[in-house]
Structure 1
């Protein structure tokens, strides 16, 4: 492959066609097309996310300019309906493993923070009749975990928009990291399970304001609380059938608007101020959701079938993982005067206007290790 700094050419270096073939065989999909293959669809969806094309018709007009095999919009739509979205989910997992490999290590305490949450993409009922929410709306959910401070995507799964977040939590968590989550994940029986499993899942999770504290005991503290902290205690959570079996630590503070924030955790060696600081890292997943929706076309669904919808979204997330890897690698390699923010890198890369030092790096110095 000719060296180039285009997204499609870098993707072909990272995930060549031969890597896709065994996955297709495992999924039982036989690609008989010659004019427009599954791999061509993969490159199209990647570029469509990166360049924020408006749909299949818009992509039909644009794709030839980005070195892709030109076909009409009906061919794009038909192919997207046929190809199982599990392929793109698997490719995303490959990209995550590849791009996060450089930071893998044996983790002890203090552990990294794993922030978990979901985001909803909604459209009119007529667009996705297989995914009703309520009223005249339909939509899907992405359930995501990211590694805080590094902004790295960890795990992703999908459901229709009316599925409760807790039902997908088991697919996202990781006992080698501290789970940080909002009230949707605050079910007391889950806390017991986290605390009782062989490799304990440590967590900091916000509780609902009306949570009942059973037999609360304040923790001994020699110094007064600082900042917005008001209480630090241990108790069982809930009542009656919802009562937790174990006692957990509860830290109560106030947000900037004066509203109570009640945090449950099984971390007993950190100060309450540290617990509050850990929870504040949760905002990073909100930034992530906002970025993929604004920059990778996630709310603009091209197709109407599960394969078309989820295939598009998983490919967009794959593009995010690749961009984040390129950005981190490049910023570590270029001179201080050439360093960029992620937003600057994304914009200049999409416009093919990166500084010379960045273009040289992307053309000559990228190193992607092979994975099995």
Structure 2
């Protein structure tokens, strides 16, 4: 194939991993000393191999090692020094520190936060809105404890629960915590950073009055649903102004009892009842945001569905049904690499002027992973015929063209 305006000196895979700076990798390696005693299969090789696994949705070590054979002779173009064998990758997944992959993810999030962020929510409320939720990933072996009843034969599958926080204006996780599936959600609230410029949104599985009292003391806002069996005392009923959304049925001040060791105290909260015409059902929310309008609090909780859509997007597009190892370390590494690839694809999607669905974008990259086409240029105008007569005057990096115009 001759050169054309879509030609690139790097494959699509090479362009994607070029978003990860070598300095970023070197810093994480140094912080975790994760290349000590390693002769060949270094951290960078491991990271890029797992990114390949996620992009190609590989379900076994054999698929990863076999698929990467296509890079033989091209290792330098994709910055890989050692292609893995099955046993090599299995050993690395078992012993390499998960913290290395976690730091890579956090560094990428920091680098591209300005690209991913849409600050309209923060500007409107003058506060950062963060959504908290968890998703359970079932495992075929009893590696981690799983919730639910045991099967008739007495055996049970394992399960890992991924607790996540996303900024309402970013749509990628910025805090991730893994626990056995039996761990109660409310324990994750201890991990959250509190400040007066933040509002947390979570479902009623996170109800914990001690945590709510701590949020209130730290002037940190929250919105959640009240439990059906919650005990409280109504101390004040507020009139609903005419300019408030008609779905607001009531706006009350309540008091709940907080048990803190041997002491008991009262906590004042706001309870709002809202009728959703779309789903034809009512919801009751509690919050410590007394200065916000009642319909604003109801609208804030609706934002929580973004994290549900994120979990669905990740599970549908990346390999989280089959894992490459039967140990906890390998599972966590694979989940972090899925999050890294999800973030990279979100950066690409955000950089495009043309609208692409996330699943179509991932499928396109998967099909053309080793093709030498300029990814962003082609995605901007995929319906145009390739111009075989014109050659590029110069090669731009994958993200350079976006930064130049952004």
Whether the TM-score (by the shorter chain) exceeds 0.5 is: yes
Distance apart, 1:323 and its partner CA: 1.3
Q: Which residue of 2 aligns with 1:57?
A: 62
CA distance in 2, matches of 1:184, 1:358: 41
Q: Does 1:145 align with 2:165?
A: yes
Q: Does 1:277 align with 2:282?
A: no
Q: Which residue of 1 aligns with 2:187?
A: 167
Cα 1:33–1:240 change in 2 (3 A) is closer
Q: Which residue of 2 aligns with 1:298?
A: 320
Q: Which residue of 1 aligns with 2:392?
A: none
CA distance in 2, matches of 1:229, 1:13: 46
Q: Does 1:234 align with 2:250?
A: no
Q: Does 1:4 align with 2:40?
A: no
Q: How many residues align?
A: 355
Aligned-partner SS, 1:76: helix
CA distance in 2, matches of 1:325, 1:224: 39
Q: Does 1:317 align with 2:331?
A: no
CA distance in 2, matches of 1:363, 1:271: 41
CA distance in 1, matches of 2:303, 2:399: 35
Q: Is the 8 A contact 1:4 1:363 kept in 2?
A: no
Gaps of 5+ in 1: 332-337
CA distance in 2, matches of 1:173, 1:344: 36
Query: Which is higher, the Rg of structure 1 or of structure 2?
Result: 2
Aligned pair partner of 1:195 in 197, 212, 216: 216
Aligned-partner SS, 1:170: helix
**Larger displacement relative to structure 2 (270-279 or 307-316):** 270-279
RCO greater where, 1 or 2, for CA within 8 Å and sep 6 or more? 2
Q: Deviations over 1:151-191 (max 9, x none)?
A: 13221121121111121223245533321110012212211
Q: Deviations over 1:252-288 (max 9, x none)?
A: 1244555442211122233222211111111110100
Aligned-CA RMSD value: 2.9
Aligned-partner SS, 1:215: strand
Q: Is the 8 A contact 1:139 1:161 kept in 2?
A: yes
CA distance in 1, matches of 2:14, 2:188: 32
Q: Does 1:40 align with 2:59?
A: no
Q: Give the TM-score normalised by the residue count of structure 1.
A: 0.85
Aligned pair partner of 2:104 in 86, 91, 100: 91
Q: Which residue of 2 aligns with 1:335?
A: none
